[in-house]
Every structure is written in structure tokens, then in C-alpha cells.
């Protein structure tokens, strides 16, 4: 066993305690009552970074919740990675659905339950533990590292853009590792790339100025609810492809190699559907729709 793995195994219990200490801080960014806890959590993470041997770690104020920034730049000539994570968490409500208190991390069946355990404090502390192991065993990291751990991810990262813009030069890196993602399975370490974006908009459909009698006006005047559903329906075709012009213009096609790699992933389809709680996945729904459409077509010929 190499020295790094040995270090990780020897200190596993303590790593877990480190994570638990962070999980006990109710850093709920959405609730003003927790503003102090959010800051305390930022201070906690920065102090932890220093304690594991990262020479520079600071809490940076923004117009909202603070950002934790740290760097280790002792590998001249080597690439620089920027690690992103967040230390804030979602509100824990409804509380009566928790088997154990959300801010009292509890192990059950080998799993750690607490608000933020897998989003995103667990991921953050996984990296911090790995950084610690490198620094303690080798006295250095194999690459240069910059760390940004924000406190507003769960409320739309409102002030992150401002921070990124004013820190642009200091944050320059060859690669960004966004560690706010999940793994394919408990024993399947995963590297996620090409994450989906998010776009939201408000659409207002206006109609008649008063309630209309369906017998007199139905059919002649469009009901705004119908108009809205027509608009929403038109956003995707029967195969689930988005029909907005230009939407796919900058989307790169998957290479054959990527398709093959994805096909080879041990994806658990049944588990995925069960986790969603949906009766069937969209692709099965579309396949059903297609086969009944072709049955109808056959009947009519």
C-alpha cells in the first residue's frame, strides 16, 4: 500500500469527525436567522484549510454570504486547478421527516445522515482530506491549487459573479473542478463533465378582460390557459428535443468515443427510476407513445 493510501486509511475516523464538525453548523443560506451560522461555517472551513497545511486561506466578504478562498502554489511549472464547492445548505424543513436531527450527523447502515452531508460538505471535506494527505505525506501537492468554497449556492449564487469578476486574475487556472456533483454509485467514483445549464423565464399570457361565457365565446376567443399550454407544449417535440431556434447551435456533438464510454458505465436504470419516484422514465413514455402511434397508423392503412 502506498504511503498516501495508508495515511488516508489511518486517519479515516478523524476525517469523518472533521466532516461531522462542519455538518453541525446550520449554514442555511436562505434563512436570515442563520446568517451568523453561515459566517461561522465559512470561518470554520478557512481555519480547517489552514490547519491541514494550506498556507493561505481567507474568508472573503461579499454583499451576501462570504466566500472561502485558499491557495497552495508551490508547484512552479505544474498546472493549476481551481476547486469549487459550497459550504451552505438547504433549509432542513420539514423537520418531522428527519429520522435524526438534520444538524446532528448520525451514521445509519454505514451512511452519514445530516443536512449537507452529500451536498456539498461531504464533497468539500473529501477534497480537504486528500489535500491534507498529500501535504502531510509528501510535504507538497502535485499541482498548484486554488480553492473557492462559496456560501450562496443554495440561493442562486447571487454575489458569486461579482466575486469572480473582481478576483479574475487571482483565480486564473488551467482547469476547474466543480465538486458539487454526485457519484454513479457508492463504489463508483465519478468524474462529471459537461453539466447542464439552467434557464428560466417568466411568461405572461393575457386574455379577455372579464370572465367569458363558454357557450357564447368558447372557441372564438382563446382561453389564456390553453394558449399557455400550447406554448409550453411547443417547447419540445415528441422525442423530447427542444424546438427553440438556435438552442443547440453551440452544443457540441458527442464523439463516438464518448458514446462508447457512456454506454460502458454501470448505469442502474431501475435504481435511477426508483430514486425519481416517477412511474416510468421519459424515454419509456416516448417509446410507448411512438408504438401506439404506429399501431394507429397501421390500423388506418
Residues with active-site annotation: 88, 153
Nearer to Zn ion, 58 or 180 (CB): 180
CA pseudo-torsion sign 51, 39, 17, 115: negative
Which positions ≥6 away from 102 have C-beta within 8 Å?
A: 26, 92, 95, 114, 115
CB of residue 218 to Zn ion, shortest distance in Å:
47
To the nearest whole angstrom, how small is the minimum distance from the Cβ of residue 119 to Zn ion? Answer: 4
Q: Is the Cβ of residue 120 or residue 152 nearer to Zn ion in the bound state?
A: 120
Closest CA to 285 of 230, 239, 231, 235: 239
Closest distance of CB 39 from Zn ion, Å: 19
Among 37, 88, 120, 152, binds Zn ion (CB under 5 A): 120
Q: Is 150 in the site for Zn ion (CB under 5 A)?
A: no
Which CB, 37 or 120, lies closer to Zn ion?
120
Q: Rounded distance, CA 123 to CA 85, Å? A: 8
Decide if 64 contacts 152 (C-beta within 8 A).
yes
Sketch the per residue contact string, 151 through 180, with Zn ion: x for CB under 5 A, - otherwise: -----------------------------x
- What are the helix (H) ranges across 87-190? 121-138, 160-166
Query: Which position among 119, 132, 150, 152 is part of the footprint of Zn ion (CB under 5 A)?
Result: 119
Closest Cα partner for 186 from 244, 268, 252?
Answer: 268
User: For Zn ion, which is the closer residue by CB, 164 or 228?
Assistant: 164
| Residues binding Zn ion (CB under 5 A) | 119-120, 180
Amino acid at each position: 500500500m502506498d504511503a498516501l493510501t495508508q495515511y488516508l486509511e489511518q486517519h479515516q475516523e478523524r476525517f469523518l469527525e472533521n466532516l461531522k464538525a462542519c455538518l453541525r453548523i446550520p449554514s442555511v443560506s436562505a434563512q436570515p436567522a442563520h446568517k451568523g451560522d453561515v459566517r461561522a461555517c465559512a470561518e470554520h472551513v478557512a481555519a480547517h484549510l489552514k490547519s491541514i497545511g494550506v498556507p493561505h486561506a481567507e474568508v472573503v466578504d461579499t454583499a451576501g454570504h462570504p466566500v472561502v478562498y485558499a491557495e497552495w502554489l508551490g508547484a512552479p511549472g505544474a498546472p493549476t486547478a481551481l476547486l469549487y464547492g459550497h459550504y451552505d445548505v438547504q433549509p432542513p424543513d420539514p423537520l418531522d421527516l428527519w429520522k435524526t436531527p438534520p444538524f446532528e450527523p448520525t451514521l445509519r447502515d454505514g451512511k452519514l445522515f445530516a443536512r449537507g452531508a452529500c451536498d456539498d460538505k461531504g464533497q468539500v471535506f473529501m477534497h480537504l482530506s486528500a489535500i491534507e494527505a498529500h501535504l502531510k505525506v509528501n510535504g507538497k501537492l502535485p499541482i498548484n491549487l486554488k480553492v473557492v468554497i462559496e456560501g450562496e449556492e443554495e440561493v442562486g449564487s447571487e454575489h458569486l459573479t461579482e466575486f469572480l469578476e473582481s478576483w479574475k486574475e487571482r483565480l486564473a487556472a488551467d482547469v476547474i473542478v466543480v465538486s458539487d456533483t454526485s457519484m454513479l454509485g457508492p463504489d463508483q467514483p465519478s468524474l462529471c463533465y459537461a453539466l447542464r445549464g439552467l434557464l428560466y423565464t417568466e411568461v405572461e399570457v393575457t386574455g379577455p378582460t372579464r370572465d367569458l361565457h363558454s357557450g357564447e365565446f368558447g372557441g372564438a376567443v382563446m382561453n389564456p390557459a390553453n394558449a399557455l399550454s400550447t406554448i409550453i407544449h411547443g417547447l419540445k417535440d415528441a422525442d423530447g428535443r427542444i424546438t427553440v431556434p438556435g438552442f443547440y447551435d453551440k452544443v457540441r456533438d458527442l464523439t463516438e468515443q464518448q458514446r462508447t464510454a457512456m454506454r460502458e458505465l454501470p448505469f442502474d436504470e431501475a435504481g435511477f427510476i426508483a430514486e425519481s419516484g416517477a412511474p416510468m422514465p421519459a424515454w419509456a413514455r416516448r417509446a410507448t407513445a411512438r408504438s401506439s402511434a404506429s399501431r394507429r397508423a397501421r390500423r388506418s392503412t
